[in-house]
Amino acid sequence: MANLTIQTSTAPTAVGAYSQGVQVGATLYVSGQLGLDPESGLLRPNFLAQANQAFENIESILRAAEFTLDDVVKFTIFMTDLTYFDELNKHMDRLFASNSYPARSAVQVSRLPKDGLIEVDAIAAR
């Protein structure tokens, strides 16, 4: 089965040696997305703005591969401060109004690339 590399200009370019996404059959693996504005390449100013942007970046990559948030089966979320956990949950409630949530892990890490406050990766499947 061939791998299909997903790249889109509507999400930030990779900050390292990786693809924005890789599709293998009916499964899409989306690389970790920071709260980087795709046009300026700069981080949004606070946790909620970075979280919003990270999920927008994920959605852009999903769209480029003709997937949607409804196809996401798992998120892994890295945060530098778990005191934002309630804000994260409220944000995800807005994203998934149907309460049909994907699986998720959320962990605190000491540091993220570019000193981001949150990084989100995703696995989507049809």
Q: Is the pLDDT of residue 36 over 90?
A: yes
CA gap 77, 57 in Å, rounded? 14
What is the model's pLDDT at position 52?
Answer: 97
Domains located in the chain, CATH noted: 3-125 (3.30.1330.40)
What is the percent of the chain where pLDDT is above 70?
Answer: 100
pLDDT in tens, 48-87: 999 999 999 999 999 999 999 999 999 999 999 999 999 9
Cβ–Cβ < 8 Å for 77, 119: yes
Phi-psi domain of 25 (left: phi exceeds 0; alpha: psi -120 through 50; beta: other):
left
- Alpha carbon of residue 112 to chain centroid: 14
pTM of the model: 0.96
Strand partners, 77: 106, 120
